Amino acid sequence: MSEKKPDNNIVLENVHLNLNTSAGQINILRGISLKIKSGESVAVIGPSGGGKTTLIMAIAGLEKISSGSLKVAGVETSDLGEDDLAVSRRENFGIVFQDFHLIPTMTALENVAIPLELAGESSNTAFSVSRAQLQSVGLGHRFDHYPSQLSGGEQQRVAIARAYASNPGILLADEPTGNLDGETGAKIMDLLFELHRENGTTMVLISHDTELADRCGRTITLADGKIKE
């Protein structure tokens, strides 16, 4: 496994992202300028449809910006092609979604291991790392269970283990507790913040929960595609 890069900054300068539809052009991100420093935890809040998820997708290179500058770990990602963007995601990011995105026909252990294998790790290394990650999130007894055999909270723990398995410098979390009850969601967030502290990860968290956002070092409000001061 390669060592984590010391520069895990995220820098956006006047970023616009437009979507062309049959009804005309939709401006989703409108002149976003933002710097997130290495090791910082930042919450992004705001009304639905304000551009929060699009912002995270753009940072991860899953949505192409229309104009402006977007740098991740010192690299201008807006200039990269799809193959290089995939490499950037693999080397820099762990991503946790609201809907878990686990493969139903794979066990918890296999779900964590498969991205490592696809990245070129040997099966022995991938499964060794995956066992350690599942143990770190309290699922050492669930290696061979399928997603359908796990609770919602356990599925999200598997997703978190998968996100951290590659030792990412940056964690992006899009409403990670959105499909969980309050008690389970609180435990998941305790886990995320614990891993953030232990790993020194740069964390960007989307949430509608202001109490949760208050746990981050900084909160940004995004509405109508713009940062609101």
pTM as predicted? 0.88
pLDDT at residue 6 tops 70: no
Q: What value does the mean pLDDT take over residues 151-177?
A: 92
pLDDT at residue 4 tops 50: no
For the chain, give the percent of residues with pLDDT over 70.
97
Got the DSSP string for the chain? Answer: -PPPPS---EEEEEEEEEEEETTEEEEEEEEEEEEE-TT-EEEEE--TTSSHHHHHHHHTTSS--SEEEEEETTEEGGG--HHHHHHHHHHHEEEE-TT----TTS-HHHHHHHHHHHTT--HHHHHHHHHHHHHHTT-TT-TT--GGGS-HHHHHHHHHHHHHTT--SEEEEESTTTTS-HHHHHHHHHHHHHHHHHHT-EEEEE-S-HHHHTTSSEEEEEETTEEE-
Identify the CATH assignment for 10-228 out of 3.40.50.1820, 1.10.390.10, 3.40.50.300, 3.40.50.2300: 3.40.50.300
User: Across all residues in the chain, what is the average pLDDT?
Assistant: 91
Q: What value does the mean pLDDT take over residues 115-136?
A: 93
For the chain, give the percent of residues with pLDDT over 90.
70
Which of 50-64, 66-80, 181-195 is least confident? 181-195
pLDDT band at 98 (very low <50, low <70, confident <90, very high): confident
